[in-house]
Amino acid sequence: MPEFSTQTVSLAVADGTTMDAYIATPAARSTDAPGIMVFQEAFGVNAHIKDVAQRFAKLGFVAIAPELFHRSARGFEGSYTDFAGVREHMAALTLAGLQADIDATYAYLAKSPGVDRERLAATGFCLGGRVTYLANARVRLRAGVSFYGGGIAPDLLPFAAQQHAPLLMFWGGLDTHIPPEQYRAVADALSAANAVHEQVVFGQADHGFFCDQRASYNPVAARQAWALTLEFLRAYDVA
């Protein structure tokens, strides 16, 4: 018997657009399964993001990964060696659009049969790390886990005061895309807002260290980050 099943659904977004989302559901689950939103990198809902959703499904979560580029390139999957190919889609993103996408994803997950809406969380990588931070300010989560979320500082620092749930944030010490002054600014803003947060910097890890399809993959940091993620979700009664 398979450990999980998958499907793609189409979600209606408040701005009139339609967004596809990949869902991984555990084969055997209780009537009160936890739910988690898995937000993509700049490279789309690709094999890596689907694998993360499946890993959560194997642990009993209902995981949903929305396609955040649906307005500019529905079904888009970029190459990790061609960042130029994702720039136009990144540039097409807006704060209002991302917030509408968060709302649609959260509403679907919260209303899914068998999902305990009191045990919902979010995680994401790079772009998705930023969206996780936004989601935690937008909807009622139990916990959020952000991996190397670029673009939070300086523009989104005011959302630090709106964080609903405890937040775990991972950064790479070798990451030139997010220098120390940026992730320190995020930590300082969260502390000033009295938000519950944990900051973990892997000194020898680069941007994208969790993804085993990238040249920057760091297996030691990835293994530790996954263990910390699961413990964080357990600590705040999601898992």
Please, which pLDDT band fits residue 217 given cuts at 50, 70 and 90? very high
Phi and psi at residue 129, to the nearest 5°: -65, -40
pLDDT (0 to 100) of residue 30? 63
* CATH of range 4-235; options 3.30.230.10, 3.40.50.10420, 3.40.50.970, 3.40.50.1820: 3.40.50.1820
Set 70, 197, 207, 211: catalytic member: 207
Mean pLDDT of 22-31: 85
Set 70, 89, 126, 197: catalytic member: 126
d(CA 13, CA 202): 37
Set 48, 89, 101, 175: catalytic member: 175
pLDDT digits (tens, 9 = 90+) for 125-167: 999 999 999 999 999 999 999 999 999 999 999 999 999 999 9
- pLDDT of 96 > 80? The answer is yes
d(CA 16, CA 29): 33
pTM of the model: 0.97
Any residues with CB less than 8 A from the CB of 217 and at least 6 apart, and which?
A: 208, 209, 210, 211
Q: What per-residue string of b and e applies to 60-95 under the rule 16 or more CB within 10 Å gives b?
A: ebbbbbbbbbbbebeebbbebeeeeebeebbeebee
Tokens of 140: 């009622």
- Domains in the chain: boundaries: 4-235
pLDDT digits (tens, 9 = 90+) for 162-214: 999 999 999 999 999 999 999 999 999 999 999 999 999 999 999 999 999 99
d(CA 195, CA 135): 15
Is 175 a known active-site residue? Answer: yes
Please, which pLDDT band fits residue 31 given cuts at 50, 70 and 90? confident
Is 48 a known active-site residue? Answer: no
